[in-house]
Amino acid sequence: MNRISMIYDKNKSWKPTYYLFSSTNVKDKSWGKEWLSSVHSAINESTTTSFIASMFKEYIDPNDKFGGVKWFDSLSETRPDSSGKIVDESFSTDIVDRIDKTGTTMNLALQLAYHMGFSEIVFVGADLGWTKDLGSKSDPNHFDKNYRAHMPNPYKANQQMRNVHKLALSIFNKNKPEVKIYNASIRTVLDVYPLIEFESFVKDSQLVYREEDNKIADNYWKNQVYIPAKKDSIILRLLRKTKNVVLKKVGLR
């Protein structure tokens, strides 16, 4: 997903079979070009089939240069509330009709895996435990310090992602109980699925459960504290709106 091509130089023998993208970061004024470069690197791989929401086509491939992309029009977005809670409609079991983002590309991946009928799903890089970061050049939340993404409310982001996985698991368990799902991320507090050791699973096909990491993750979630976001006054909102209009008129925004 997203900026995975940033690791291609470190893993020259590996490229994904499928790639998924649906992020507004591609049009961000500060780091949009960096994201676009990563997307182009990913979709340019001949062995990779890419799934991208068509609403981003004008930014990514306006001239139809990339033939391996499957553009989809069924994207919806049922946004979480301020505490990260989501609704049941956030997971669609018919992605031809509708596939819901719910604020994270990971949710699209879960619905796509459901639709494609995989019998086993193993997560790698599903970290969570994110901290506040406003797109700095030393990103603390992803696999590369140069990743750059907006994380203004880490509590909401962490809870939202965990809730996405909880909902997905409940639907898999109900409709496809035979599907096995594990989390093999090396650094993670995602405890919705059994935590397993990455190397044992990949090299030896063995399921080695990480009981101690499960306890750490459990304590992490127990210690999360929700602090409601402060709402601006009507006067502040009007002033901000007026400022934006003026800046736009003089060409500064």
Flag whether 23 is in a domain: no
Assigned domain for 37 exists:
no
- pLDDT at position 142, please? 87
Residue 127, pLDDT score = 74
131 assigned to some structural domain: yes
- In this prediction, the residues of the chain whose per-residue pLDDT falls under 70 are 229-234, 236-237, 240, 243-253
Report if residue 151 sits inside a domain.
yes
Block residue for tokens 């997971």: 91
- DSSP string for residues in 115-178: HHT-SEEEESS-------EES-SS-SSSSSTT---EES-HHHHHHHHHHHHHHHHHHHHHH-TT
Look at strands 75-76 and 99-100 and give their pairing.
parallel
* Residue 20 belongs to a domain: no
For the chain, where are the E strands, in sequence order? Answer: 18-21, 49-53, 69-72, 75-76, 99-100, 120-123, 133-134, 150-151, 180-183
Q: How many domains does the chain divide into?
A: 1
Output the pLDDT for position 225: 85
CB-based contact 187:164 (threshold 8 Å): no
Residue 251 has what pLDDT? 59
Decide if 210 is inside a domain.
Answer: yes
Domain-located, residue 153: yes
177: containing domain = 85-96+124-249
Whether residue 230 is contained in a domain is answered as yes
